[in-house]
Amino acid sequence: MLAIMKRELLSYFTSPLGYVFVAVYYLFSGLFLFLFTLSYQSANMETVYTGMFFVMMIMIPILTMRLMAEENRQKTDQLLLTSPVSLPRLVIGKFLSAFAILLVCTLIFLVYGLVLSGFATVNWAIILGNIFGMLLIGSVFIASGLFISTLTENQMISAVGSIGLNIAFILIDSFAAVMPAKFLQELFSSLSFFAKYSQFTLGVFSLSNIFFFLSVIFIFIFLTVRVLEKRRWA
């Protein structure tokens, strides 16, 4: 598991992908911070966190697109799948490699907090809560991207497919609005990724939301393992 994570990280940083990803993340988050917070002389980062949801939604598929697709294309999956490594460990190793990069990215918000504390009082609990929230939603996107990547040999299809899936997560809200029956509306609203994430940005730290996202991550990792398992039976 650690070996697989290490190999993926090595691979992220022997190509420009890893550096570019981190740089673009810092660029967007810094830009949002400047536009939505600093320029208003405020320490309220709510809009920044909301913006990061969409940045991650589009960017993380680019991080995860090659995770399994490239193995499928180069047939290196033959090495992994004939090694004495269980499938869950293999998948979790892959997941952790992308998560490590996300972590490096997200921790920049500690720096932003320090910057803000220079001229305003910042609520560190809210910053830490949002770092946690961003890691959580980021992990959801990593898990969904990893799942899509397993289904194809083509990195482009993998990226586009994952972005599509992530957009579908957002559209849950719109579906809720047009549902004919009240209970369906409620059902869809209760599944809304964006509404749940928004609570973090408002400083609400709800256990049920955390549990919801953790379940989604678990489901996608489980599905990824199932796909790899099922491929053998094709």
Partner 1 sequence: MIEVKNLTKQYGSKLAVNNISFSVKEGEILGFLGPNGAGKSTTMNMLTGYISSTSGTATINGIDVLEDPIAAKMHIGYLPEKPPVYGDMTVMEYLRFVYSLKKSKMPRESHLAEICELVKITEVRKRLIRNLSKGYQQRVGFAQALVGNPNVLILDEPTVGLDPKQIIEIRTLIKKLGKNHTVILSSHILPEIQAVCDRIVVISSGSIVANDSTDALAKNMSADHKLVVRTEGSSDDVKKLLSSIPGMDRVYVNREAEPGVYEYYLEATQGKDLRREISKKLSSRNYPILMMKSNELSLEEIFLKLTTGDNYGGVDK
User: Using CB under 8 A as the criterion, which residues of the chain lie in contact with partner 1 when the complex forms?
Assistant: 2-4, 6-7, 10-11, 14-15, 74-86, 231-234
Q: What minimum distance in Å lies between the beta carbon of 82 and partner 1? A: 4
Report the distance separating Cα 78 and Cα 71, nearest Å: 8
If one counts every other C-beta atom within 10 angstroms of the C-beta of residue 141, the result is 28
- Please tell me the distance from the alpha carbon of residue 63 to that of residue 47, in angstroms, as a whole number: 24
**Closer residue to partner 1, CB minimum distance, 30 or 88:** 88
Q: Centre a 10 Å sphere on the Cβ of residue 202 and count the other Cβ atoms it contains.
A: 13
Q: How far is the CB of 3 from partner 1 (least distance, A)?
A: 4
What is the nearest approach in angstroms of partner 1 to the Cβ of residue 210? Answer: 33
Provide the minimum distance between the beta carbon of 79 and partner 1 in the complex, in angstroms, as a whole number: 4
Q: Which of residues 8 and 134 has its CB atom nearest to partner 1 in the complex? A: 8
State in angstroms the smallest separation of the CB of 34 from partner 1. 36
CA distance 132 to 130: 5
Which of residues 10 and 167 has its CB atom nearest to partner 1 in the complex? Answer: 10
Q: What angle do CA 50, 56, 59 make, to 5 degrees?
A: 145
User: Contact 38/119 with Cβ under 8 angstroms?
Assistant: no
Residue 83 or 190: the one with the smaller Cβ distance to partner 1 is: 83
- Apex 41 CA angle, 118 and 131, nearest 5: 65
Nearer to partner 1, 78 or 123 (CB): 78
